[in-house]
């Protein structure tokens, strides 16, 4: 499994299995844990950003957060996408 492929699959079908969503959760968590070590983030294609209703030129991890917010909304915390945007700003990525 790969984050980018799963995000593309979600955009195409609006469906991911629990295992696939668990994988995306783990990937996003791993990125957040090591964000201070990251220099750049890869930008997702325009059509992916548009379908997920995130800003054009958003990174794949932000798209992943959007997929997770759509599929597994959090109840008592900020949405993942807002948290990740804050980290991007904090670390100037």
- The per-residue pLDDT for range 81-92, each reduced to its tens digit, is 999 999 999 999
d(CA 50, CA 29): 24
Are the C-beta atoms of 56 and 46 separated by less than 8 Å?
Answer: yes
pTM of the full structure: 0.94
Rounded mean pLDDT of the chain? 95
**pLDDT classification of 77: cutoffs 50, 70, 90:** low
Encode pLDDT of 22-48 as tens digits: 999 999 999 999 999 999 999 999 999
Tokens of 43: 């930008």
d(CA 20, CA 10): 10
How many domains are there within the chain? 1
d(CA 27, CA 55): 21
Q: Which residue segment(s) compose the domain that 34 sits in?
A: 3-90
Tokens of 38: 């990251």
């Amino acid at each position: 499994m790969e984050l980018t492929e799963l995000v593309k699959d979600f955009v195409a079908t609006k469906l991911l299995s629990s295992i696939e969503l668990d994988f995306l959760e783990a990937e996003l968590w791993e990125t957040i844990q090591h964000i201070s070590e990251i220099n750049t983030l890869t930008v997702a294609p325009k059509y992916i950003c548009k379908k997920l209703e995130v800003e054009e030129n958003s990174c794949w991890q932000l798209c992943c957060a959007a997929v997770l917010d759509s599929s597994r909304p959090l109840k008592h915390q900020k949405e993942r996408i807002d948290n990740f945007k804050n980290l991007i700003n904090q670390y100037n990525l």
